[in-house]
């Protein structure tokens, strides 16, 4: 707790205008990064080929992405700087701006379920689903005790088996099927390995009890026992723009949210914006963003129709309120979180002490990222802010050097013609003039 009260504000005014080296120095001082940790951020991805060799198969190289820092986050009264790894321009700037808006209303309030994951065991070739289910239910204490034998470390840390659920599917293309859910508290891990080991260990016992045949034994990515929730309030005044009053912007945002609620075509894009932020934090911290994506989208479709992950409404004072709730299966131990050197530094910058705290931070980031997108869409549109960075990317892709990129990008934006072909022409003209 002492560390928390000593932390400075994450409201780093002018941070984006600082040269890169100064920005790093600011973050290093803020998070107490030593020389070695700072140099990890400055290498090409911070990962050595030797480390990569141990992570996946058939390695031939490394792939680096930018790591940016989102500022202004105040969550449950605590300031956070948020490391984000992403290739898309405007995400980090957008989320920082939205966090500033939420800060004007007291920041984000978050909560999370216990870190309980679901393992699934598929049982087939059963004569009678109901009596098999009854026998399993009668043996549940024995099954849960067996599950607790798999990962003694987790049990000693307060995790372990929490319950059993039985899901009969009498009519499937593969015949009658009984699916056994094992609920398991994985504490600070994402938990895939503990769950999968448990499922494999329980399978022979389940076959013995039911007389059936077990096929799949694997965790579910619809981690709906492990949800995180974030809410925020943005004072209407803070949303006023040059051309629109605060209450007009509130109305525009609420209308945008209603669009995503009723129309899956819009909800997909709306939720993609949420995941822009959450994935970027997942990647920065070495977490499995595909697992996060799978859980989020399955949750968004839980009622049989794909819908929005967030809600936005106007309160009785005319202010904007927002809420997100979704499964967030992430860890601060295990997987790549402690293996990837940059992930270790990212976790230190975040300063989270539990996986639950990380999940809550990520929910706040998802809500803020969504606010950034729909605020821009409901006001000036997203292209204006996006275009200068986009033009820089186009200029770099056309072969512009560090010294040329700003000039090429500026010309593309001024001309309103941000295309690869025009970038190549501008670059040619620039180089001919320079000869």
Active site residues: 88, 272, 288, 386
Token pair for residue 412? 């593309």
Contacts of 239 (CB under 8 A, 6+ apart): 101, 246, 249, 250, 253, 320, 375
Q: Toward ligand NAD, which CB reaches closer, 205 or 333?
A: 333
Name the β-bridge partners of 182.
Answer: 119, 164
Sheet holding 160-169, edge to edge: 160-169, 177-185, 116-124, 213-219
Does the footprint of ligand NAD cover residue 69 (CB under 6 A)? no
Give the CB-side neighbour count of residue 257, counting CA atoms within 13 A.
23
Q: Toward ligand NAD, which CB reaches closer, 329 or 391?
A: 329
What DSSP character marks residue 119?
Answer: E
- Cα pseudo-dihedral 391, 392, 393, 395, rounded to 10: 90
Does the footprint of ligand NAD cover residue 335 (CB under 6 A)? yes
Among 157, 377, 413, 424, binds ligand NAD (CB under 6 A): 157
Does the footprint of ligand NAD cover residue 194 (CB under 6 A)? yes
Does the footprint of ligand NAD cover residue 284 (CB under 6 A)? no
76, 19, 67, 23: which is closest to 43 by C-alpha? Answer: 67
Q: Toward ligand NAD, which CB reaches closer, 69 or 116?
A: 116
Does the footprint of ligand NAD cover residue 217 (CB under 6 A)? no
Does the footprint of ligand NAD cover residue 51 (CB under 6 A)? no
Among 47, 123, 161, 291, binds ligand NAD (CB under 6 A): 291
Does the footprint of ligand NAD cover residue 221 (CB under 6 A)? yes
Question: Which residues in 201-240 are b (16+ Cβ under 10 Å) and which e?
Answer: bbbebbeebbebebeebebbbbbebbbbbbbbbbbbebbb
Residue 409 vs residues 17, 99, 400, 431: alpha-carbon distances, Å: 18, 28, 9, 15
71, 72, 74, 75: which is closest to 83 by C-alpha? Answer: 71
Q: Toward ligand NAD, which CB reaches closer, 199 or 409?
A: 199
Minimum distance between the CB of residue 73 and ligand NAD, rounded to whole angstroms? Answer: 24
Token pair for residue 162? 């929490």
Does the footprint of ligand NAD cover residue 117 (CB under 6 A)? no
User: Segment 364-403, which members bind ligand NAD (CB under 6 A)?
Assistant: none
From 62-70, 104-112, 326-334, 372-380, span contacting ligand NAD (CB under 6 A): 326-334
SS3 305: coil
Q: Toward ligand NAD, which CB reaches closer, 109 or 354?
A: 354
Torsional sign, CA 16, 18, 22, 25: negative
Say how many residues touch ligand NAD, by CB under 6 A.
23
Among 331, 341, 351, 366, binds ligand NAD (CB under 6 A): 331
Does the footprint of ligand NAD cover residue 187 (CB under 6 A)? yes
Q: In this chain, which residue has its C-beta nearest to ligand NAD?
A: 334
From 48-56, 189-197, 340-348, 404-412, span contacting ligand NAD (CB under 6 A): 189-197
Binding region for ligand NAD (CB under 6 A): 151, 153-154, 157, 186-194, 196, 219, 221, 288, 291, 331, 333-336
């Amino acid at each position: 707790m002492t560390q928390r009260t000593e932390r400075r504000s994450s409201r780093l005014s002018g941070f984006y205008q600082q040269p890169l080296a100064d920005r790093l120095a600011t973050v290093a001082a803020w998070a107490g990064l030593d020389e070695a940790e700072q140099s990890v951020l400055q290498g090409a991805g911070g990962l050595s080929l030797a480390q990569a060799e141990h992570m996946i198969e058939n390695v031939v190289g490394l792939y680096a992405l930018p790591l940016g820092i989102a500022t202004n986050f105040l969550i449950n009264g605590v300031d956070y700087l948020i490391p984000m790894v992403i290739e898309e321009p405007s995400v980090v700037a957008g989320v920082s701006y939205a966090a500033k808006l939420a800060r004007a209303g007291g920041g984000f309030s978050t909560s999370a379920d216990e870190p309980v994951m679901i393992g699934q065991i598929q049982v087939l070739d059963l004569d009678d689903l109901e009596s098999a289910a009854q026998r399993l239910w009668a043996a549940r204490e024995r099954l849960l005790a067996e599950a607790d034998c798999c990962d003694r470390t987790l049990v000693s840390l307060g995790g372990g088996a929490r319950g059993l659920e039985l899901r009969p599917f009498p009519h499937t293309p593969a015949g009658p099927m009984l699916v056994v859910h094992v609920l398991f508290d994985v504490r600070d891990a994402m938990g895939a390995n503990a769950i999968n080991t448990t499922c494999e260990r329980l399978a022979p016992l389940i076959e013995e009890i039911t007389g059936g045949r077990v096929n799949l034994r694997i965790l579910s990515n619809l981690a709906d026992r492990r949800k995180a929730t974030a809410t925020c309030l943005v004072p209407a005044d803070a949303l006023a723009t040059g051309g629109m009053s605060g209450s007009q912007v509130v109305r525009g945002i609420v209308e945008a949210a209603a669009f995503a609620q009723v129309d899956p075509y819009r909800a997909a894009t709306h939720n993609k914006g949420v995941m822009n932020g959450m994935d970027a934090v997942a990647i920065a911290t070495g977490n499995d963003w595909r697992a996060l994506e799978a859980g989020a989208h399955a949750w968004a479709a839980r009622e049989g129709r794909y819908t929005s992950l967030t809600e936005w409404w106007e309160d009785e004072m005319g202010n904007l309120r927002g809420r997100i709730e979704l499964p967030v299966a992430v860890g601060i131990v295990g997987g790549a979180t402690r293996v990837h050197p940059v992930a270790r530094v990212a976790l230190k910058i975040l300063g989270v002490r539990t996986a639950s705290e990380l999940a809550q931070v990520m929910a706040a980031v998802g809500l803020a990222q969504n606010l950034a997108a729909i605020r821009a869409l409901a006001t000036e549109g997203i292209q204006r802010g996006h275009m200068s960075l986009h033009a820089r990317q186009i200029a770099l892709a056309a072969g512009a050097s560090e010294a040329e990129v700003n000039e090429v990008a500026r010309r593309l934006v001024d001309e309103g013609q941000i295309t690869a072909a025009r970038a190549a022409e501008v670059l040619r003209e620039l180089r001919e003039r320079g000869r």
